[in-house]
Amino acid sequence: MKPIRWQRRKDARVPEILDAALACFAERGFAGTRMDDIAARAGITKGTIYLYFESKDAVFKALARQSIGVQLQGVKAHLNGFEGSSADLLRFVIGTIGRFASISDRVTVAKILLAEAGNFPDLAEFWRREIVDQGIAIFGTIVRRGVARGEFRDVPPEHAARLCIAPVLVLILWRTIFAQFDEKPYDYAGLIDTHLNVLLKGLAAEEAKQ
């Protein structure tokens, strides 16, 4: 049985609120955005937002969880039972995250966090715990897998994990801050491909390099 019209509308509220919040945060910053601004952008009353989110902080956290967090959960699900090489696993993970960072408007959330983390340490701590630490754990797991299987050199996983993700962060910063000044669109796919080529050659066990 199809849901009645008001039920469908209610289900659509959260995505509409989050889209409106993202637009407001991008224009005004987190500190400069009020719940009234988000409500006006979404075409609803401020009271309606409070039916779903208790605060502006909660809206920001939902944006992070339902965009970047969802991507990380999808990647983690792929790790279970993967039977290919660790290099192929890195190609999949970095490629997936790189494509998302190249096309999704949700990466603006990362720029907003970086710009205002000093004034909102609770949000920075949230981002560290639910986004950064999760990403580092994923890459650390893959690196340890590769070392254990003799595919990668014995490198410190905690450092290698950060090297895996660093160029993606550069991509996000370039796309959200500097791309507006490019004379021609930057080749983000080429950046990810080059990163993978250099990274995998650096990680490869000596036997594999010969």
Distance between CA atoms of 77 and 85, rounded to whole angstroms?
17
Q: Which homologous superfamily is 61-209 in?
A: Tetracycline Repressor, domain 2 (1.10.357.10)
pLDDT at 81: 81
Phi then psi dihedrals of residue 86, to 5 deg: -70, -30
Distance between CA atoms of 50 and 58, rounded to whole angstroms?
10
- Residues 168-195 have pLDDT tens digits of 999 999 999 999 999 999 999 999 999 9
pLDDT-above-70 percentage for the chain:
93
- Residues 133-175 have pLDDT tens digits of 999 999 999 999 999 999 999 999 999 999 999 999 999 999 9
Distance between CA atoms of 109 and 189, rounded to whole angstroms?
21
Confidence of residue 7 (pLDDT cuts 50, 70, 90): very low
Instruction: Please give the model's pTM, rounded to 2 decimal places.
Output: 0.86
The mean pLDDT of 78-99, rounded to a whole number, is 92
The mean pLDDT of 57-78, rounded to a whole number, is 90
Average pLDDT, the chain: 90
Q: Do domains 1-54 and 61-209 have the same CATH topology?
A: no
Confidence of residue 10 (pLDDT cuts 50, 70, 90): low
pLDDT at 2: 43
pLDDT at 5: 40
- Residues 82-92 have pLDDT tens digits of 899 999 999 99
Q: Tell me which DSSP letter residue 131 carries.
A: I
Q: Which homologous superfamily is 1-54 in?
A: Homeodomain-like (1.10.10.60)
pLDDT at 57: 95
Q: Where are the domains of the chain?
A: 1-54, 61-209
